[in-house]
Structure 1
């Protein structure tokens, strides 16, 4: 499970928020202009996650009001403005050089983050690694500043840490630490699911359910990206709708073992465990389709308990990685 946008989104979302707020406060965007994730993402060349976060922040501040359809409307004086559908640049959106530089830099980091998180997280269960920032920058053809930004994002979600000499390292995922994380998740994720239920979109649940059923019916066609999306559908896109931000933060940090573990599974092509995991996901999503969140929460707790029982013994018996199995910007501690 890779949550590619969640860790990186806050920095990029801040820029998107500042750009939109500046235009709204200066009345450069007309009243009633319809803003949505899609048209903002297209106009600013960002993903939908930072666009969504920025929209929510502006709505919370009263600068945008809900539209009866989808999206939000720019509000100046009219408490219920009429919707105006226009291309955002034609409506008045323009970027200064500083905006473009920050968006370009953030977008580069945003684009690379999933691959880097994937590569590093897949090594967590195999021991302690040092991260060479210069080698990371060289590997991806980016500046040390962007490399530092990426490592800082990884630090926020617990994938990497820094020692007293400011050297980056990957802390090993031990069986004991994995047990702690799974215990937290089994306690918090079902409760977060119940809190998130009123905020769930029926279409999103149905799309996740259909994607999962298709994968179960045709397992041979399921690739790493497809399995990654199935994990994200439940454990990120739905669970993270929980309005309790502190709960979501703790859950997100404790989901890191799942990332490491599933990439470990991916290395050894454990199709039986993947199939079992998908069936357990189905036992969560089906009650949500039937509007029974309590049964879904119970199924989610069982799923996490089973994942812990399978995963933790596996972590204790992993082989040493060969040099060709980890990127050149990682150095295993001897």
Structure 2
């Protein structure tokens, strides 16, 4: 069967009861990234998949639709967005032996409200010419004065930065994290700006020597003829927290509280958690699959290996409000 993509599902909210053999998805990720998976799922089960791409306002839309929402599943990236949906009361817990087997404990909500599919590491991009091997080993080291005027990063209030700061709070507490933030700020080469790729471009152009970024951006840059030169100017380094692992974030799926097709939605969640499906999903965005026995593609593996931080990501998300407060207190973006 063929995938039926749609860019808007609003009309379904007020239409007749849902067709039995279908699933409706609200996705933060572009449908093209999902299509190989949804095609495979439809071919295997006969269940049609409708995808609405929502790059912003997903929570607000679900709240406005309430019980009439056509959405069965939400796909999003970053633990802060997954936790926000849970905290807004928009999801329901899911219990499944298949999911429990395929998704490690640190990558799903302890109460079953969301389940991870792939991960990305928050790493350091380092100039091949100006940063020696072994110079960057920990996140804590980024506050060392040796990096003064040498660091670029995106906004301190961005979800990716808040996630790292939240993890720092979990390991060191708020007071020590505030001191660390002040140290990192004092080492910045410029005011925080741009996305992760913009930081690598700044390294390439000589504005700074290291930057924070997600691993998958290396794959995206290498796939872009204009940006390949930026990517080839840096090494990918996997710092850790002192006495812990490398900070990772997650893409995940959750079943909505009012899912009109819950049985089909659960089938989709279990399908997505399989090693085969995770490898397809991870390859599409240069990420790491998390199911036991699954492997990243060769390009991603070529960047190096790492041990992920073992703290459950929902625990990390619990520090988000404090992290944002600390970023504002030190005027990180100022």
**Taking structure 1 as the reference length, what is the TM-score of the superposition?**
0.26
User: Which one has more relative contact order, counting CA pairs under 8 Å at least 6 apart?
Assistant: 2
Task: Compare the two structures and name the one with the higher helix fraction.
Answer: 1
**Taking structure 2 as the reference length, what is the TM-score of the superposition?**
0.26
